Structure 1
Amino acid sequence: PGSEMASDECDSPMDPESDEELEREAEGFKEQGNAFYIKKNYAEAFHFYTRAIDMCPKNASYYGNRAATLMMLSRYREALEDSQQAVRLDDTFVKGHLREGKCHLTLGNSMAASRCFQKVLELEPDHSPAQQELKNAESILEYERMAEIGFEKRDFRMVVYCMDRALESASACHRFKVLKAECLALLGRYAEAQSVASDILRMDSTNGDALYVRGLCLYYEDCIDKAVQFFIQALRMAPDHEKARLACRNAKALKAKKEEGNRAFKEGNFEEAYSLYTDALTIDPNNIKTNAKLYCNRATVGSKLKKLEQAIEDCSKAIRLDNSYIKAFLRRAQCYMDTEMYEEAVRDYEKVYQTEKTKEHKHLLKVAQLELKKSKRKDYYKVLGVEKNASEDEIKKAYHKRALMHHPDRHSGASAEVQKEEEKKFKEVGEAFTVLSDPKKKSRYDSGHDLEDDGDFDANNIFKAFFGGPGGFSFEASGPGNYFFQFG
């Protein structure tokens, strides 16, 4: 940068010899600064250029050199001030205008950057670096325009793409970084958003936008108390920050309503808890993680209120919002078990066990698999019309009733189709009784084991054995459609 001496003017002290001495000394400091700059020791270069400026504060090239050094140190705001001072001292200083433009561009001010590059081209129409930088400035303006449209359409991926392209030239623009971070947060990419916001806060701890984004990430990760602290801090730094104000209000409202719902649930006020969780779900549709928990909480209440279909739907909504939410899969699987939708329950428990291979999850999966297997067999309890905990006496009474109801002799006057159906039912009743009246077979059946193949059940033999009597039996008509059973 040392070849940029554009003016030898210095302050004019009373003594001309003294003036020359200061000039020589300043030039010496500049040369030392140049030597350190070439060696990439920018801190020392900065020190000597500053000494040169102190000696001769009206020399444009000294400010130009120090601006170049500050740019290498990524201190673009200070570099901008030096380059602006340089062109104030010498409006024909091409490198000064070019550096001012680059600082504006790096800081994201494309309009100001364009003016600087156009000034360079006025002074040197064939200046190719300025021509290229002008194109970069125009590209950034276009990316800003596209990002604005993308944000309005909630196309946050487009905004992130545009900001990434813009930041290739405007690497120190906090505005672009914050917009990118906000959109990353809205896309659920919280770690990336936090990282970008934290980088800004390291350089500028009072940046209200970055504080807001940090709060937004915490808010969307369901760390609501911490989020509120960041929103309050953002409002302290930028009292007119509308987004921070709205997010703070939503966060407080969401926390309060969720806690009210939890309290009502613990106190057994399930209808009230259901209503409170429903209210909480209307506060902020964008808060995916908290809303997933609210849906799951409402599903828990729904299952208590025997609203099992609604509970299953709420769990499904929670899972759609957060596919890694194990608690929602477990709750839905239990609801499926309660509604005897065993295939669906097995699918959910499999997902849970693949994610968290615990003994408890393995046990739940095995129970569901067993119930599924059992559901595919004939339900002998349903065939006899008794509960699964029916006593031996209840099973006998049920058989007595069903066997008489479906006995083929009772339906001898019916159509062939009806006779066939009743004969099938009669056989099933005998089969059910054979299994459920035998303690060993019943135990194996209840535990889901396959029963030994005893060949075809002879329903008539079972019937005879149950009713006994040496003289056989018959159904006699006592009038149209009325029959009574008669022992011989």
Structure 2
Amino acid sequence: CFHVLSDICLVYLSFCLLVHREAEGFKEQGNAFYIKKDYAEAFNYYTKAIDMCPKNASYYGNRAATLMMLYRYREALEDSQQAVRLDNDFMKGHLREGKCHLSLGNAMAASRCFQRVLELEPDNSPAQQEVTLATLVQIKWRKVVFCMDRALEAAAACHRFKILKAECLALLGRYPEAQSVASDILRMDSTNADALYVRGLCLYYEDCIDKAVQFFVQALRMAPDHDKARLAFRNAKALKAKKEEGNKAFKEGHFEAAYELYSEALTIDPNNIKTNAKLYCNRATVGSKLKKLEQAVEDCTRAIKLDETYIKAYLRRAQCYMDMEQYEEAVRDYEKVYQTEKTKEHKHLLKHAQLELKKSKRKDYYKVLGVNKNATEDEIKKAYRKRALLHHPDRHSGATPELQKEEEKKFKEVGEAFSVLSDPKKKSRYDSGQDLEDDGMNMGDFDANNIFKAFFGGPAGFSFEASGPGNFFFQFG
């Protein structure tokens, strides 16, 4: 059976290599036609390469470049988006997606693509230039809105002017205003496909995906060839489905699967800021369950970068910081939350984080003794015995003055720790974060030898004796 399986594996690997080699051949032929500016033939060969290897990002990227040369920007956009879904670090894919968005008038989406290029390659001059162009386009849109307002003063019932204004407002991210204009049109003409599309687009970018899909369906019913509505509908359906798959996997406790599904959902439409902020926060929740706390913090930070008002992301990040014992960062996030929403729960979380921060800045007596916070009385005594004997000054009488000083310091800390953790009252105050000085215990004047003598029964009950150079044994009376 083993030999048969090995043979099958070898045959499969050989087949995969053959397929890859043939796909690369098609790609090279496509490149040759692209150089000759025979873009139709280049498109055909890149398509053959994709058919052979549909998971190769560069093939989609090359075909997107060809489609752009053929002025088929919507198809090029789909290919460039698929390329970066397959490889989020594919710089050329992000650059081409941005150029397609810009050519189609979506400067906000274009800017985000170019910013991603600059994250991957900060000195990329084409991306820097494109960012400037995208900014100029947004300025022009604001001018269009201004001009349409002036035009509508004279032509108040012109739906074409209103649609142009509504779409510009949507592309500027001013969704409530855009929705208002589109709704006005739909009250007068419920079959206006452009108004239905704009209404759906606003809902889509405000994370109301179910309602958005309904509007896109209506728009396509009124105008089956409405390319913008078709593309938006496809993205909305894919995003909704993948997010729901992730939610289902999470509820069923399949955290690894949920993590992957949320990751896949994040590649569908990088321009849907609100939905992606929630996806990052969802993935952070899964990451915390998987003990991927640093990744969870990064995801929360990404969510906050997309939506600075997203309270849930601050709370999730703060909890991760608490789990990582990074209390200063946790306090900062809880303060932000409490400033925004002054609820009893948020106040309690902030006070708890502040208490843990205060506790973290003092000596950790549990760590000094090498026990956990649930250690029993016997475990604390055993730990003290071990550490006290290890660091007792007499044991290190032959060491260098520097080492003797260090061991004396550790011996004193061990005594302090035992004095506190062996006393139920002091231990309770210490665990609750209260100051021990309130109990009259001045650690600056603490004498560790008194604790040592009391524990081991006084000088007559214990002594160190040398058994050779650098070696000691302990003698009890």
TM-score (norm 2): 0.68
The reply on whether 1:165 has 2:139 as its aligned counterpart is no
Specify which of 446, 456, 466 is matched with residue 457 of structure 1: 446
Specify which of 406, 418, 430 is matched with residue 415 of structure 2: 430
CA–CA distance in structure 2, aligned partners of residues 349 and 298 of structure 1 = 20
- Secondary structure of 1:477's partner? strand
Distance 1:147 1:176, change over 3 A: farther
- Secondary structure of 2:436's partner? coil
The one-letter amino acid of 2:322's match is M
Residue matched to 2:369:
384
Residue matched to 2:194:
209
State the Cα RMSD in Å: 2.1
Greater alpha carbon shift after TM alignment, 150-159 vs 318-327: 150-159
CA–CA distance in structure 1, aligned partners of residues 374 and 401 of structure 2 = 37
Residue matched to 1:231:
216
Cα offset for 1:451? 0.8
Instruction: Check whether the contact 1:220–1:289 (CA below 8 A) recurs between aligned residues.
Output: yes
Greater alpha carbon shift after TM alignment, 152-161 vs 233-242: 152-161
Residue matched to 1:194:
179
Instruction: Check whether the contact 1:197–1:214 (CA below 8 A) recurs between aligned residues.
Output: yes
Instruction: Check whether the contact 1:444–1:451 (CA below 8 A) recurs between aligned residues.
Output: yes
Instruction: Check whether the contact 2:145–2:168 (CA below 8 A) recurs between aligned residues.
Output: no
Instruction: Check whether the contact 1:159–1:180 (CA below 8 A) recurs between aligned residues.
Output: no
- Secondary structure of 1:448's partner? coil
Residue matched to 2:427:
442
Cα offset for 1:252? 0.6
CA–CA distance in structure 1, aligned partners of residues 357 and 106 of structure 2 = 52
Gaps of 5+ in 2: 1-102, 111-132
Distance 1:262 1:454, change over 3 A: same
- TM alignment of 1:140-155, pairs within 5 A: 153-155=133-135
Cα offset for 1:354? 1.8
CA–CA distance in structure 2, aligned partners of residues 190 and 269 of structure 1 = 36
Cα offset for 1:149? 10
Distance 1:474 1:187, change over 3 A: farther
The reply on whether 1:468 has 2:457 as its aligned counterpart is yes
CA–CA distance in structure 1, aligned partners of residues 254 and 149 of structure 2 = 57
Specify which of 138, 159, 163 is matched with residue 178 of structure 1: 163
Distance 1:169 1:438, change over 3 A: closer
Specify which of 462, 472, 477 is matched with residue 466 of structure 2: 477
Greater alpha carbon shift after TM alignment, 268-277 vs 157-166: 157-166
Cα offset for 1:446? 0.4
The reply on whether 1:406 has 2:414 as its aligned counterpart is no
- Secondary structure of 1:471's partner? helix
The reply on whether 1:299 has 2:280 as its aligned counterpart is no
Greater alpha carbon shift after TM alignment, 467-476 vs 365-374: 467-476
Aligned residues: 343
- Secondary structure of 2:283's partner? helix
- TM alignment of 1:211-290, pairs within 5 A: 211-290=196-275
Distance 1:392 1:217, change over 3 A: same
Instruction: Check whether the contact 1:159–1:183 (CA below 8 A) recurs between aligned residues.
Output: no
- TM alignment of 1:43-62, pairs within 5 A: none
Cα offset for 1:169? 4.4
Cα offset for 1:198? 1.9
Residue matched to 2:100:
none
Cα offset for 1:237? 2.1
Computing the radius of gyration from Cα coordinates, the structure with the larger value is 1
CA–CA distance in structure 1, aligned partners of residues 307 and 295 of structure 2 = 18
Instruction: Check whether the contact 1:147–1:159 (CA below 8 A) recurs between aligned residues.
Output: no
- Secondary structure of 1:165's partner? helix
Instruction: Check whether the contact 2:398–2:470 (CA below 8 A) recurs between aligned residues.
Output: no
CA–CA distance in structure 2, aligned partners of residues 404 and 283 of structure 1 = 62
| Percent of matched pairs sharing the same residue | 82
CA–CA distance in structure 1, aligned partners of residues 140 and 368 of structure 2 = 63
The one-letter amino acid of 1:293's match is K
- Secondary structure of 2:277's partner? helix
Instruction: Check whether the contact 2:209–2:236 (CA below 8 A) recurs between aligned residues.
Output: yes
Instruction: Check whether the contact 1:435–1:441 (CA below 8 A) recurs between aligned residues.
Output: yes
Give a deviation string over 1:273-308, Cα, whole Å, max 9, x none.
100000000000011111111111111111110001
- Secondary structure of 1:170's partner? helix
Distance 1:293 1:408, change over 3 A: same
Give a deviation string over 1:210-248, Cα, whole Å, max 9, x none.
211100111111111110111111112222211110110
Distance 1:168 1:247, change over 3 A: closer
- Secondary structure of 1:454's partner? coil
Distance 1:194 1:340, change over 3 A: same
Instruction: Check whether the contact 1:384–1:395 (CA below 8 A) recurs between aligned residues.
Output: yes
Residue matched to 1:368:
353
- TM alignment of 1:35-46, pairs within 5 A: none
Instruction: Check whether the contact 1:163–1:176 (CA below 8 A) recurs between aligned residues.
Output: no
Cα offset for 1:183? 3.9
